[in-house]
């Protein structure tokens, strides 16, 4: 399985302090910050002799006990999309914060743990060292989590988890009220209130960068249209495909249906010609504005006649060529 994630501009909290993103492993970044996408199918056979069972069937005989059994329940609940069971895996303060989140954010938090947008069926087995293996099986895709040996220190425990791509991080567990609860991921102490704010900021940054990249895509498509037909398109609609898929000046089939319609990823796109559209040196500009300012994005973007993209927080209004040049937040 290959999981990819672009880095984000925000730092993470550890014990109330910020730590740089670059000190955490790729697997942890996937768990915490990836815009979660469909998980690829896994390669490789199941361990020889392993007996796969559903989470319900194996409740009474999970290979590991104590904190490992509790962590098995956490990942199994995330796989199933079981909000109630997943919420019970946190310490009391985090559990209350989790239940107070909007339904969409609760769902997305589970998806960060299961590494998929879709719910599935958790299947449990043991490896040759008698450590738990969880396979979250969905239609057409599977994610596999392999447990390592738990390190238990009185009321604290740390369990290494490896995804099939070889990336590994420790899950921290703490005993609270006689039960093991999820405490941390790698160096990140779970603070649902703080992390939910950071995740929201990260999601906005991702949508903003995607909007700027879509402006680049539209600019290239408009230039291609002009080279092909000797004039600029009158509207973005002409860049999309028609019902017959034939390439014509009215339907050039260069961009996606969403971009041709002028709306994608929480942004709307505006195109206008600034000189004679029929001349060989026609000029144009393209804008991207957040459809729901503060939720789908904060920055507005402006692609000038020279192809440079400018950005500014205009509270939903248009940016201009006088604003700073755009720099991707994901590469910072």
| Local confidence pLDDT in tens for the 332 residues of the chain | 333 333 333 333 333 333 333 333 434 443 443 333 222 322 333 443 444 444 444 443 333 359 999 999 999 999 999 999 999 999 998 899 899 888 888 888 888 888 888 899 999 999 999 999 999 999 888 999 999 999 998 899 999 999 876 678 889 999 998 899 998 887 666 666 666 677 778 888 889 999 999 999 999 999 999 999 999 999 999 999 988 878 999 999 999 999 999 999 999 999 999 876 555 567 899 999 999 998 889 999 999 999 999 999 999 999 999 999 998 875 55
183 plus 230 within the same structural domain: no
Do residues 210 and 159 share a domain?
no
Domain assignment present for 5: no
- 56: Cβ contacts below 8 Å, ≥ 6 apart: none
Tell whether 157 and 243 lie within a shared domain.
no
Q: Is residue 58 part of a domain?
A: yes
Same domain flag for 174 and 209: no
SS3 36: coil
Please give the tally of structural domains in the chain: 2
Q: Are residues 250 and 113 in the same domain?
A: no
pLDDT at site 189: 65
Residue 244: inside a domain, yes or no?
yes
**228 shares a domain with 103:** no
Looking at 147, 166, 190, which one is the last position of a domain? Answer: 190
Q: Which DSSP symbol is given to 112? A: H
The strand ranges marked E within 75-211 are: 121-126, 132-138, 141-147, 151-153, 156-163, 168-176, 179-185, 188-189
Give the domain extent around 151.
12-190
- 104 & 209 share domain: no
Same domain flag for 180 and 212: no
- pLDDT for the residue numbered 289: 97
One domain, residues 181 and 219: no
Same domain as 267, residue 130: no
Helix (H) or strand (E) holding 99: helix 92-100
**Is the pTM for the entire model greater than 0.85?**
no
Domain assignment present for 249: yes
Q: Does an H or E element contain 75, and which? A: helix 67-80
Q: Confirm whether 118 is domain-assigned.
A: yes
CA distance 61 to 69: 9
Q: What is the pLDDT of residue 141?
A: 87
Q: Enter the tokens of residue 278.
A: 């029929």
Measured CA to CA, the distance from residue 122 to residue 143 in angstroms comes to 9
Residue 195 lies in a domain: no
**pLDDT at site 301:** 97
Residue 113: which region, alpha, beta or left (left: phi > 0; alpha: psi -120 to 50)? Answer: alpha
Are 296 and 176 within one domain? no
Residue 1 lies in a domain: no
Domain limit, last residue, from 190, 217, 248: 190
Nearest-angstrom CA–CA distance, 123 and 121: 6
Output the pLDDT for position 7: 34
Tokens 């059994």 belong to residue: 69
Name residue, tokens 């080279």: 227
Last residue of a domain, one of 190, 225, 240: 190
Domain contains 321? no
Q: Are residues 78 and 112 in the same domain?
A: yes
């Amino acid at each position: 399985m290959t999981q990819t994630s672009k880095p984000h501009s925000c730092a993470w909290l550890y014990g109330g302090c910020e730590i740089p993103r670059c000190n955490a492993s790729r697997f942890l970044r996937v768990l915490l910050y990836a815009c979660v996408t469909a998980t690829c199918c896994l390669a490789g056979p199941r361990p020889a002799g392993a007996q796969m069972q559903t989470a319900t069937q194996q409740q009474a005989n999970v290979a590991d006990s104590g904190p490992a059994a509790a962590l098995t329940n956490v990942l199994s609940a995330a796989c199933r999309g079981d909000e109630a069971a997943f919420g019970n895996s946190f310490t009391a303060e985090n559990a209350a914060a989790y239940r107070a989140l909007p339904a969409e954010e609760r769902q997305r938090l589970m998806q960060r743990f299961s590494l998929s947008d879709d719910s599935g069926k958790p299947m449990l087995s043991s490896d040759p060292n008698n450590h738990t293996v969880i396979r979250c099986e969905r239609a057409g895709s599977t994610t596999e989590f392999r447990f390592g040996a738990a390190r238990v220190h009185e009321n604290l425990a740390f369990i290494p988890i490896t995804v099939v791509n070889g990336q590994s991080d420790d899950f921290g567990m703490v005993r609270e009220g006689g039960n093991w609860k999820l405490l941390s991921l790698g160096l990140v102490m779970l603070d649902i209130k703080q992390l939910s704010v950071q995740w929201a900021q990260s999601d906005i940054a991702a949508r903003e960068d995607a909007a700027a990249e879509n402006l680049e895509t539209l600019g290239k498509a408009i230039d291609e249209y002009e080279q092909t037909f000797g004039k600029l398109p009158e509207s973005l609609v002409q860049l999309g495909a028609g019902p017959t898929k034939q390439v014509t000046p009215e339907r050039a089939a260069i961009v996606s249906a969403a971009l041709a319609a002028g709306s994608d990823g929480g942004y709307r796109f505006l195109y206008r010609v600034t000189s004679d559209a029929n001349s060989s040196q026609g000029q144009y500009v393209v804008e991207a504005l957040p459809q729901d300012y503060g939720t789908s994005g904060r920055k507005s973007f402006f692609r000038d006649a020279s192809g440079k993209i400018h950005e500014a927080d205009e509270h939903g209004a248009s940016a201009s060529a006088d604003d700073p040049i755009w720099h991707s937040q994901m590469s910072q």
